[in-house]
Every structure is written in structure tokens, then in C-alpha cells.
Amino acid sequence: MARVGNSIIKGIEVEELIKLLNRAYADEWLAYYQYCIEEKVVKGIMKDAAIAELNQHAQDELRHADMVAQRILQLGGTPLLNPKEWFVHTNCGYEEPKNFDVVAILEDAIKGEQCAIKTYSDIIEVTQNKDIVTYDIVSQILADEVEHEEDLVALQEDISEFIKQVKGN
């Protein structure tokens, strides 16, 4: 644990911070898995573009999980050790893909990103002016999640537009 590093955290309990980060850690792993499985089962028009996007997002979520775990360790905590705990601590849950159509898959993914944006915005509020290191890490992740939402929405709009044109409406 970074002793002096932790001593600069003011006005917030380190234990509370570790709990919040572990919840985000659970979210990242579930998001990673969701993207991995979505990219395999997705069907329909322009699915290759969706596969490329989903694959990129999976890699990003895994990188986020690693960033969050490193910070938990620095704070003297332990990242969740058992995947069973992901379902206990997650904020955003896990959206099992039921409809494999590309537009529906993208819709599920967009919901996940919107939840991630909310989660990280909350941690940013809690850490602002109190824990600058966590604040900085979480700000970087938040910027990625905002970009993820935007990319998915843009792709979903392109595909929906293309389907409209194909149908001749």
C-alpha cells in the first residue's frame, strides 16, 4: 500500500473508495465478457462493422479492469478474487444477448455504456478534490466510455439507415 500516497486522500474513507472501485471492476469484467460473446453471436446486415467495434470495446474494457485493479491494490485493497462476486457487486449487471440481430445487440451495448458513464461520473464526483489519483484514472476511463457510447450510437444509426434504404422506404 502506498502510505504517503494514501495520506494525501482527504475527506473520503479509503475503504469506501475501494468498495466503489471494486464495483466498477466487476462492471468492467462483465462488460468485457458481454462484448466478447456479442461479437461471436451477432448476425445481420453490416455485422462485420459491428464485430470490429465490439472487439475494440472488449479490449478497452479489459484494459479498464486492469487500471481499476492497479488502483485498488495501490490503495491497499484486493480486487474481487472470484468471478461469482462480480454479480454481487456490479452496478450495471450483465445483459445476456437474447436477440442476435445487429441492431438489438448494439442497443444492449449502448445501455451498458450509458450505465458505465453514470458509474464513473459518480466516482468522479466522490473523488473530486479528495483523491486526485483515482480522479485522474477514472476520468481517463470515463472519456473512453463516452467515446464507446458515441461510436455505438453512430454505428447503429448507420446500420438502421442502410436497412431503410435497402427496404426502399
Contacting residues toward Fe ion, per CB under 5 A: 28, 61, 64, 113, 145, 148
- Shortest approach of Fe ion to residue 80 CB, angstroms? 15
DSSP code, position 43: B
- Shortest approach of Fe ion to residue 64 CB, angstroms? 4
Residues 100-128: b if buried by 16+ CB within 10 A, e if exposed: eebbbbbbbbbebbbbbeebbeebbebbe
- Report the residue number, 150 or 161, with the smaller CB distance to Fe ion: 150
CB atoms within 10 A of CB 137: 21
- Report the residue number, 25 or 77, with the smaller CB distance to Fe ion: 25
- Shortest approach of Fe ion to residue 10 CB, angstroms? 27
Strand pairing partners for 101? 43
- Shortest approach of Fe ion to residue 61 CB, angstroms? 4
- Report the residue number, 94 or 163, with the smaller CB distance to Fe ion: 94
- Report the residue number, 113 or 131, with the smaller CB distance to Fe ion: 113
Which residues, 6 or more positions from 36, have their beta carbon under 8 angstroms from its beta carbon? Answer: 58
